[in-house]
Amino acid sequence: MYYQWGHKIGWSSTDPLTSSPASHSWDDNINASNENWAKSNDPSPKGWRVPTADEVLKLCEIIGSAEWITQNGVTGAKVTDKTNGASIFIPHACIRTSFDPIDSWRGSLWCDLGGIHTVYWSSTSWSQDNTRAVDFMFFPYTSREAGEIQYGLKSAAFPIRPVIDK
């Protein structure tokens, strides 16, 4: 599922503009507040939540390596901690684009199938531009850092990678 930032409505990873629950419309309006993702709109399962930018930044700082692998038939990044060698699997994720008035790509699925990166939302609004929120990308097989913070348009839809809510 893909989620516009701050929304609980999920969007299909295979069928453009199919929502879960059904019958919702794509929201072109950007949540321009500087608030973080509201708990009431967090699509994570009970006991889990969308990670904060600080948590994602800590993850990016400890990444020693990231490599594309296939695990149980799913392609993704194996991200390894440089301090202790522990690793996690981050499934490859595409992006559902926000409305583009030139190309009308509203809700279109854009995938980096060349294996350059994968992206997920954090729960943190970007303080420099309220139309954007902090996301995190992993870059297996590139000369870039293995993971980094980016700032995606809130009207786009990215997947989430929930963490345990402590």
What domain count does the chain have? 1
For residue range 134-153, list pLDDT tens digits in order: 888 776 555 455 667 788 88
105: phi > 0 → left, psi -120 to 50 → alpha, else beta; which? alpha
Helix (H) / strand (E) element for 53: namely: helix 53-62
Q: How much is the pTM?
A: 0.80
Owning domain of residue 40: 2-164
For residue range 26-70, list pLDDT tens digits in order: 777 766 676 889 999 999 999 999 999 888 888 777 777 777 889
What distance in Å separates the CA atoms of residue 117 and residue 89, rounded to the nearest whole number?
Answer: 14
Mean pLDDT (the chain, rounded): 79
